[in-house]
Amino acid sequence: MEPEVFDVVVIGAGPAGEKGANTAALFGKRVAIVEKGSEVGGAVANTGTLPSKTLRETALALSGLRARNLYGVDLSLRREATIADLMHHERTVTANERARIRGYLRILNIQLYQGTAEFVDPHTIRVSNDQSQEGSAPEKLLRAEKILIGTGSSPYRPPEFAFEDTRIHDSDEILALERLPETLAVVGAGVIGSEYACTFAALGTKVDLIDARDALLPFLDVELSNALLAGMQNLGIVFHWGERVTCEAPPEGQLLLTLSSGKTLKTDGLLIAAGRSSNTAELNLKAAGITAGKRGLLTVNASFQTEVPNIYAAGDVIGFPALAATSMEQARVAMCHACDKPYKTEIPNVLPTGIYTIPELSTVGETEESLKNKGVEYVVGRARYDQNARGQIIGDRTGFLKVLFNSSDMKVLGVHVIGEQASELAHIGLIAMLTGSGAELFNTACFNYPTLGDLYKYAAYDAMLKQMALP
């Protein structure tokens, strides 16, 4: 069988694959993209980011949480409501995202092959069960000078849990529930577990969140972590720290969980959020000369080349930070290098993290704890939503912005936000950090009024006053 020849072949049509393919095509390269799933978009569009965040917005709207805080109005969900009832908007969002991706592939003349990809050698990919065209051969060979692996990741399934039981779910399955559970236990208080715990709690489910650690999202600034903990407890979420779990699953009724402390819990459903594994097992990496690490992770250099220089990898397959936004940027850098175009040569050392819990939070740069460990002198500037006109209008009484400034030159070292629109608000601080700016920028800027952006001015004033008082 003669292979079809391309300049670049991309494996995976998620965020990394899509942006990598688009970048190479914009440089005039002949590009093919291979997608195993029936739809483009990867986990971000189909099972993870967009569906879960859309359900979160639906929960906030239909539960009346926002209205309750603002107007004293208590709306109640129908207890017989199913997840499907709540996902109407999600279906629209997901369909639009799939259509957008397919539209760009067509505009840029990128050939889409739907099937399972595996390496034959470092330059050749076999695509099995190709469904890109009616009557097409069940197998195709694609050959390219450069290859990008962007196959994403899947939820890790600890072997001690019986996932074939319809009451036990991973984070990709949880949105396929037939009805809202009265009670739900979530094992794993990481980002995914915490986000789902908040969403289901907002929908009226009694949620227990179990974790072997002793702190919530310990990579966060401690003040932000504590504020999130209080907000989640306000939703009724019960935390169980320092606990490991075993599960008994009788044929009917509730699951019985036994914690390592000896405590027992009964629950209608169980969500296991134990991290994710890279989707590399089916790629036959050995044929390409690549060796995967723990949980299928691939090792890359600063240009996102694997140990085989013509093969690149980006996104979840290379591990942390494994965010849609960073995956896109990694793929762009990879393809600029692969196509010898100097437009984007590196990933910035300052990257934002948005966490869509309730309340929402976002963080960029250093924390107080990291600055103390490095011995860096800093000044903290704070501004609260309840002292901001826009914050009062939207009814957020607990949100705040915290900006860390270098005490010597007042440049921004870190930004931490919790509250409505936190992931949007953090970008102002991100741009300040990327441009090496500081408190004077916020002092000079004129922000629209009323806006949450104006919080930066008052956080800067707070820090400047504190700096003046320093010896």
User: Residue 143 is part of a domain; what is its CATH number?
Assistant: 3.50.50.60
In a domain, 243, yes or no: yes
- Same domain for 400 and 438, yes or no, is yes
Give the position of tokens 């939820």.
155
Give the ranges where 121-221 is alpha helix by DSSP (H).
191-202
In a domain, 386, yes or no: yes
Which of 255, 274, 293 terminates a domain? The answer is 274
* Residue 177 confidence (pLDDT): 81
* Residue 82 confidence (pLDDT): 61
* Residue 78 confidence (pLDDT): 47
- Same domain for 67 and 122, yes or no, is yes
- Same domain for 219 and 123, yes or no, is no
* Residue 220 confidence (pLDDT): 97
- Same domain for 334 and 391, yes or no, is no
- Same domain for 27 and 90, yes or no, is yes
The 8-class DSSP code of residue 122 comes to: T
* Residue 76 confidence (pLDDT): 53
* Interacting residues of 420 by C-beta distance below 8 A, sequence separation 6+: 359, 360, 385, 391, 394, 396, 399, 452
* Residue 95 confidence (pLDDT): 86
* Interacting residues of 328 by C-beta distance below 8 A, sequence separation 6+: 15, 16, 18, 19
* Interacting residues of 128 by C-beta distance below 8 A, sequence separation 6+: 115, 116, 118, 138, 139
Contact 110, 25 (CB under 8 A): yes
- Same domain for 215 and 268, yes or no, is yes
Q: How far apart are CA 332 and CA 194, in angstroms?
A: 30
In a domain, 350, yes or no: no
The per-residue DSSP string of 260-286 comes to TTS-EEEESEEEE---EEES-TTS-HH
The 8-class DSSP code of residue 305 comes to: B
- Same domain for 61 and 15, yes or no, is yes
- Same domain for 149 and 182, yes or no, is no
- Measured from the Cβ of residue 300, the count of other Cβ atoms closer than 10 Å reads 20
* Interacting residues of 291 by C-beta distance below 8 A, sequence separation 6+: 285, 307
Give the position of tokens 């914050």.
391
- Same domain for 287 and 143, yes or no, is yes
- Same domain for 308 and 379, yes or no, is no
- Same domain for 300 and 395, yes or no, is no
In a domain, 162, yes or no: no
In a domain, 161, yes or no: no
In a domain, 85, yes or no: yes
- pLDDT tens digits in sequence order for the chain, 471 residues long: 799 999 999 999 999 999 999 999 999 999 999 999 888 888 777 777 787 888 888 778 766 665 445 545 444 554 455 666 667 777 788 888 889 999 999 999 999 999 999 999 999 999 997 555 444 557 899 999 999 999 999 999 999 999 999 999 999 888 878 788 999 999 999 999 999 999 999 988 999 999 999 999 999 999 999 999 999 999 999 999 999 999 999 999 999 999 999 999 999 999 999 999 999 999 999 999 999 999 999 999 999 999 999 999 999 999 988 889 999 999 999 999 999 999 999 999 899 999 999 999 999 999 999 999 999 999 999 999 999 999 999 889 999 999 999 999 999 999 999 999 999 999 999 999 999 999 999 999 999 999 999 999 999 999 999 998 877
**Angle between helical axes of 49-63 and 191-202 (0-180°, round to 10):** 30
In a domain, 348, yes or no: no
Please report, for the domain that includes residue 455, its CATH number.
3.30.390.30
Which of 274, 293, 327 terminates a domain? The answer is 274
Looking at the structure of the chain, the number of domains it has is 3
- Same domain for 227 and 294, yes or no, is no
Which of 224, 241, 274 terminates a domain? The answer is 274
Per the structure, the complete domain to which residue 363 belongs is given by 359-468
Contact 314, 334 (CB under 8 A): yes
In a domain, 354, yes or no: no
